[in-house]
Structure 1
Amino acid sequence: MFALLILVCSSKEKPTLGGTRIKTRKRNIAAPLDPAAFADAVVQIYLDNAGDLELVAKNVESSDLNFSRYGDTFFEVVFTGGRTQPGTIKPDEGERHPYSIVECEANREAILPSVIYVQKILRRKPFLIKNLENVMRRFLQSLELFEENERKKLAIFTALAFSQKLSGLPPEAVFQPLLKDNLVGKGLVLPFITDFFKEYLVDNSLEDLIAILKRGKMEDNLMDFFPSAKRSAEGFSEHFTKAGLVPLVEYNEKKIFEAKLKDMKSALTTLIAEESDISEVIEIVKQRVKDANLPDIEVVRILWDVLMDAVQWSGKNQQQNANSALRQVKTWAKLLNSFCTSGKLELELIYKVQMQCYEDAKLMKLFPEIVRSLYDQDVLAEDTILHWFRKGTNPKGRQTLVKSLEPFIKWLEEAEEEE
């Protein structure tokens, strides 16, 4: 009976999962990280083609090397001829090639082919731009590890890279690493950035350079490239003048001047808004003019702009506008009088009034009233007004404004005849 039971059980089919495939778990087998072997392979491509960068580029593009994994290593080979030890620029073990950027002559003719070569590689493998950024940032942060001549080559390469509009290289990748205190303090950054500026401006305008500086958030911080002991407007001008970069000096002087005007305007706006004592305002303005060495003509322009900006203009009520403007002139006439100290400065004030009335239609009809008020408050002399009326040189709105001033001019001339 027991034997029969065993026979019956063994004759039955074993249960199966019908229609279901049992998936076996695949192991994630990662290829071993071997940047040294990758570097050796790239070096061999250089050697096999005797440094002919066109042939090197073709062989690099057609190779099955894993650039997505070893992009940083690739650019180490481009810049230094081989793989560098982590955290340094020292050569790692393995063969090196003599056609790298640091082995070139320190001039644009020698380095430009490398820039064009890198550009070709990036067009075929655009994902490598991040690796180029990584390596450049690392090298620039380690400028002290390079020889002086090698730093010059890096500066020329960097300038040519931007000049050739190397795909996607962000300016901040260049400028921000250079602002490390130890590099700036050791005087390593200033020669680098000077070489960069000089090389970039060979083929590009100052406006192009400023655009790059803006993108790199350095337009207003050019002094940061100078060691603290040399960080002054005079030091800036002296250094870049000697380097032959006079347009950059002029640009920086203009920026400094504009910043002084902005500070002056901001301080005066606050004083006017707070209705400070006019004598106090005059003394503060005079001191600021002296400290900033501002031209008198700019001071007159700022005074008028600030005074008129403080007026509460009405959109439609012309009489209200007239009253507000004339009240402002009367209130601050002593301030204007303190700085309109010559016929030339008085004439500049009339031109400011002319331009404001020309640019703002609601003020066009106020021109003769404002001029009359400035005359009544002894800000404008009769001779200045007559000179503007007869020989004024600013054509904007002049025909209309001259006509509107005719009754007042007639009154002046009749008064003069009576005297």
Structure 2
Amino acid sequence: MSSSKPQKVSLAGVVIRQRKRDVKTIANPTGFKETLSAIVEQSMAPDDVFKLCDQYEDELDFRRYDEYFWDLFLAGGTGACIGKFEDDVTPINQSFFGIEKKELPKPQELKAEIVTLLREFVRRKPFLEPTLQKVIEMLLNSSSLLEEKYQTATKSLVAHLLACRILRRECLQAMLRNEAAIESGQMLQQLTGIFKALQTECNQEVSAIVKLLNEGKIMNRLMDFFPSPKRTPEAFAEHWKKEGLQGLLVVAQNIKKKEQAQKIKNMVEEFVKRRNEEEEDYDEDDNDENDEDEEEDEAAGSKKKGKGKDSATSSSVASKRSAQQQQRVEDAVNEFLAELTELQDEVGLDGGILLSSIFEGLMLTIDWKSKKASVKAEAAAQVVRKWGPPLMKRFAEVERADDPTHGGAAQLSLMQCVQNYCYEKSPITKEFVRLVHILYMGDVIEEDVIREWSKKGVGSKGKDSFKKQIVPLIEWLDIAPEKSTGAE
């Protein structure tokens, strides 16, 4: 028996793959900053910078050192953007802190170069943009601890980043989360500085700033930046005037007025609907009581013959209940008018806007989805006749008392509002003169105002049609000896 040795297995041509191990490199943010600062010292032109970045790719890990990237260009490498501020570090020239600290010549040109380069970095490396929001929030919250020049630089860099849309508008909302800084006045000071920088350094018009604030959803919250004791219309106006930002003040006040006008419309709609519901409930209760009385009379039959219910007493009770209901309505109207007056005084809402808002609020109670135009037209006339005078008369009279020479201004605005509404709502287009007549009979609009409107107050919408409608009313005013309560 022959014994043969087993053949050895050959591994020729076989590649043995070993498992890759995670090789952790030692963090070297200092090397990153030194390399990047050396590159931008040579040139700030984007093409040159990125060409050099490609050459030093191994030393420039932008994902790992994204916070240090922003700190270098914004705070000059001082650590202010990452919560590690070093006072003894000199910021590089190619940064907002460096420009302000060293008072370099042609600062606006240097800032423009930085912004252009940063915009290109964000375009090529989008992962850098989310980090910017965090570092800006940290910088804004801690800037009060920095020296004055760095505080000025912070306001400037935020303004430039907002203007060129590198920084999200919502970042300004983060300022409202620091209640301590708000109460100390720090946040108001920063916001004011940012607005000034937007105007003077970024050449932003007031309209552009307002658009920016609306996009950031803080235009309506400017008052929240004020310390609690100063959250008043007077302090609000005084601050922006003092800081030379009257244009922003006017826009902010107009926006506030529009908000209040819309609020008044909604309040009027709710008030009228609630009162109508209460009246319906009252009528149902009254009918139920009458039905019960009739049932009692029928049940009594001949037993109460000759001793029937005293009709005078029954009428007296009904009259008393009606008077009580009327008094409740009057009390509700007076209380509601007090609320409207308070809203008017809060933002200085003029009488014209107030009267127009009340009218539009009344129109909101109408079911415009109804198929019949005649139903809508009649509903409009009824709601104006019933609620127009009690809700509008006081404010029309106040306007006349305050300014006798121009007392019809508010009423003229109301007529123009009625005209515009009738133009937009086709079912009541032909009801314009009827609605005006109702308001005239209710002492809301004066005769002189109607005549003035027909001569020079007619708006452009449906001008000829509405002017033609008003002619019969003016002819009637010419022959009518005095205002009467007769039929329309």
TM-score range, shorter chain: 0.7 to 0.9
Counterparts of 1:178 and 1:386, CA distance in 2: 52
Counterparts of 1:158 and 1:394, CA distance in 2: 44
SS at match of 1:69: coil
Counterparts of 1:380 and 1:120, CA distance in 2: 63
Structure 1 unaligned segments of length 5 or more: list them. Answer: none
Query: What is the match of residue 399 of structure 1?
Result: 464
Letter of the 2:241 partner, please give it. T
Letter of the 1:145 partner, please give it. L
Counterparts of 1:117 and 1:192, CA distance in 2: 22
Query: What is the match of residue 340 of structure 1?
Result: 396
Runs of at least 4 residues off by over 6 Å: 16-20
Flag the 1:60–1:229 CA change in 2: closer, same or farther, 3 A: farther
Counterparts of 2:373 and 2:176, CA distance in 1: 57
TM-score (norm 1): 0.82
SS at match of 1:68: coil
Counterparts of 1:339 and 1:90, CA distance in 2: 62
Flag the 1:141–1:358 CA change in 2: closer, same or farther, 3 A: same
Deviation at 1:21, TM superposition (A): 4.8
Counterparts of 1:391 and 1:171, CA distance in 2: 44
SS at match of 1:28: coil
Aligned with residue 87 of structure 1, among 74, 83, 91: 83
Counterparts of 1:96 and 1:376, CA distance in 2: 75
Deviation at 1:152, TM superposition (A): 0.6
Post-superposition CA distance 1:80-112 (Å, at most 9, x none): 4436396331269x9974654323237894255
Flag the 1:402–1:278 CA change in 2: closer, same or farther, 3 A: farther
Flag the 1:319–1:140 CA change in 2: closer, same or farther, 3 A: closer
Aligned with residue 297 of structure 1, among 343, 352, 360: 352
Flag the 1:157–1:394 CA change in 2: closer, same or farther, 3 A: same
1:101-120 mapped onto 2 (5 Å cutoff): 101-105=96-100, 109-110=106-107, 112-120=109-117
Aligned with residue 34 of structure 2, among 40, 43, 61: 40
Flag the 1:109–1:243 CA change in 2: closer, same or farther, 3 A: farther
Counterparts of 1:329 and 1:157, CA distance in 2: 55
Deviation at 1:382, TM superposition (A): 4.7
Identity among equivalent positions (%) equals 25
Counterparts of 2:413 and 2:111, CA distance in 1: 56
Quick check: 1:159 aligned with 2:166? Answer: no
Flag the 1:109–1:133 CA change in 2: closer, same or farther, 3 A: farther
Query: What is the match of residue 221 of structure 2?
Result: 221
Quick check: 1:210 aligned with 2:210? Answer: yes
Counterparts of 2:414 and 2:94, CA distance in 1: 65
Letter of the 2:20 partner, please give it. K
Flag the 1:390–1:250 CA change in 2: closer, same or farther, 3 A: closer
Deviation at 1:328, TM superposition (A): 1.6
Letter of the 2:254 partner, please give it. K
Query: What is the match of residue 179 of structure 2?
Result: 181
SS at match of 1:31: coil
Deviation at 1:414, TM superposition (A): 4.3
Aligned with residue 322 of structure 1, among 352, 357, 377: 377
Flag the 1:62–1:225 CA change in 2: closer, same or farther, 3 A: farther
Counterparts of 1:39 and 1:374, CA distance in 2: 74
SS at match of 1:194: helix
SS at match of 2:65: helix
Counterparts of 1:180 and 1:384, CA distance in 2: 52
Deviates more, 1:318-327 or 1:297-306: 318-327
Post-superposition CA distance 1:150-208 (Å, at most 9, x none): 11111112212233x15x42123354146412322333222222121011023111121
SS at match of 2:64: helix
Answer whether contact 1:272 1:307 (CA < 8 A) is retained.
yes
Flag the 1:350–1:68 CA change in 2: closer, same or farther, 3 A: closer
Query: What is the match of residue 195 of structure 1?
Result: 193
Deviation at 1:416, TM superposition (A): 4.6
Answer whether contact 1:189 1:225 (CA < 8 A) is retained.
yes
Counterparts of 2:45 and 2:454, CA distance in 1: 71
Flag the 1:14–1:83 CA change in 2: closer, same or farther, 3 A: farther
Flag the 1:251–1:384 CA change in 2: closer, same or farther, 3 A: closer
Answer whether contact 1:61 1:121 (CA < 8 A) is retained.
no
Corresponding pairs, count: 406
Letter of the 1:329 partner, please give it. V
Root mean square deviation of aligned Cα: 3.5
Post-superposition CA distance 1:342-397 (Å, at most 9, x none): 57144443333222222222212222333344445554455544454455443432
Post-superposition CA distance 1:32-68 (Å, at most 9, x none): 2221222233344466x4xx64598464565322223
Answer whether contact 1:137 1:173 (CA < 8 A) is retained.
yes
Counterparts of 2:75 and 2:378, CA distance in 1: 74
1:274-313 mapped onto 2 (5 Å cutoff): 274-275=274-275, 278-291=329-342, 292-293=344-345, 294-313=349-368
1:337-376 mapped onto 2 (5 Å cutoff): 337-341=393-397, 342=400, 344=408, 345-376=410-441
Answer whether contact 2:39 2:49 (CA < 8 A) is retained.
no
Structure 2 unaligned segments of length 5 or more: list them. Answer: 277-327, 401-406
Flag the 1:43–1:307 CA change in 2: closer, same or farther, 3 A: closer
SS at match of 1:271: helix
1:225-240 mapped onto 2 (5 Å cutoff): 225-240=225-240
Query: What is the match of residue 306 of structure 2?
Result: none
Answer whether contact 2:393 2:443 (CA < 8 A) is retained.
yes
TM-score (norm 2): 0.72
Counterparts of 2:108 and 2:265, CA distance in 1: 48
Flag the 1:278–1:387 CA change in 2: closer, same or farther, 3 A: farther
Letter of the 2:30 partner, please give it. A
Deviates more, 1:251-260 or 1:149-158: 251-260
